[in-house]
């Protein structure tokens, strides 16, 4: 399918194409939210920051989840908290405490889960990192949320909490499983134990800022397509998601072994492209003069005959 044709299809048709190639598993950490909030809502950011930030950011999160589900993505993972956040100062600690309860108890989130028929789980090592801390109450909220949405079937949403390194958790599960069954667990049994239910391998990951894929343990196979937005994740919109879905469904589906079928003109175009970009590396960037943020630098140049393709 031609790119422009796809980009102009009705949402329902794109969702049908995505589901036909699915079910699709997408990992989408929503990062850069505070920067987005300050830039887009400067008046609100100047007031009661914490309460307003959680409310406005929460509304945007829900809009983003709806966007992905409306476009046919059936399984969405969104890592939200890592153990590094637990080490920040007292002001951030209060924000984190509210944030951990925010997606599990806020009425707007619960109404969304019901309206979209979303089954919700929390994955990671929340028990190990939160038990015995001021955040411990979140563990009961996570369990209550999983129970509340257990019968929802249309979509699945997984929140990652301290899901950076599953090694010790998986090892402990393997020992218990072997003691109970006299054999090591299968891959499917390990994934099910870690996530609460089985999840197929990840299809695509959408990050922001410095390219780094993270918090999708056991289901990242190396075959997932990686995308990184230049602007913070909350700026994701239909135009950007359509471009990513087209690339994932069509543009990247290249038979890398079919070199024998390439014409002389194909080889010439490939040679010119590689020659122009021999010293270019995707992922390079610079620090702003303030030293406060990193930004990517353009790296790819196209031969004249490839311009506009």
pTM of the model: 0.93
Q: Please report, in tens digits, the pLDDT of each residue of the chain (309 residues total).
A: 999 999 999 999 999 999 999 889 999 999 999 999 999 999 998 887 778 888 999 999 999 999 999 999 999 999 998 887 777 666 666 777 788 898 999 999 999 999 999 999 999 999 999 999 888 999 999 999 999 999 999 999 999 999 999 999 999 999 999 999 999 999 999 999 999 999 999 999 999 999 999 999 999 999 999 999 999 999 999 999 999 999 999 999 887 767 888 899 989 999 999 999 999 999 999 999 998 899 999 999 999 888 765
The answer, yes or no, to whether the previous bond of 23 is cis (omega within 30 of 0) is yes
Task: Find out if CATH 3.10.105.10 is the number for domain 3-251.
Answer: no
Which residues make up the CATH 3.40.1180.10 domain(s) of the chain?
A: 3-251
Residues 219-242 as b or e (16 or more Cβ within 10 Å = b) = bbeeebbebbbeebbbbbeeeebb
* Other beta carbons within 10 Å of 202: 23
């Amino acid at each position: 399918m031609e790119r422009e044709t796809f980009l102009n299809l009705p949402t329902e048709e794109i969702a049908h194409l995505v589901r036909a190639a699915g079910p699709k598993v997408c990992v989408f950490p929503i990062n850069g939210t505070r920067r987005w909030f300050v830039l887009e809502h400067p008046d609100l950011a100047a007031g009661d920051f914490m309460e307003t930030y959680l409310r406005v950011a929460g509304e945007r999160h829900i809009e983003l989840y709806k966007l992905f589900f409306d476009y046919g993505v059936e399984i969405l993972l969104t890592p939200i908290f890592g153990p590094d956040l637990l080490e920040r100062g007292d002001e951030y600690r209060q924000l984190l405490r509210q944030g951990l309860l925010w997606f599990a108890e806020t009425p707007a989130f619960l109404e969304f889960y019901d309206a979209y028929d979303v089954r919700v789980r929390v994955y990671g090592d929340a028990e190990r990192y939160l038990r015995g801390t001021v955040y411990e109450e979140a563990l009961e909220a996570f369990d209550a949320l999983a129970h509340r949405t257990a019968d929802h079937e249309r979509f699945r949403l997984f929140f990652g909490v301290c899901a950076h390194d599953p090694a010790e958790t998986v090892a402990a599960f393997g020992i218990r499983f072997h003691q109970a069954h006299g054999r090591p667990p299968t891959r499917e049994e390990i994934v099910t134990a870690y996530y609460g239910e089985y999840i197929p391998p990840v299809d695509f990951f959408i990050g922001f800022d410095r390219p780094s894929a993270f918090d999708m343990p056991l289901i990242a196979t190396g075959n997932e397509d990686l995308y990184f937005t230049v602007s913070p994740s909350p700026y994701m919109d239909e135009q950007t998601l359509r471009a990513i879905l087209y690339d994932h469904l069509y543009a990247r589906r290249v038979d890398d072994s079919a070199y024998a079928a390439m014409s002389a003109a194909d080889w010439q175009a490939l040679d010119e492209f590689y020659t122009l970009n021999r010293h270019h590396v995707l992922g390079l960037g610079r620090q702003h003069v303030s030293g406060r943020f990193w930004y990517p630098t353009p790296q790819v140049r196209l031969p004249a005959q490839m311009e506009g393709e």
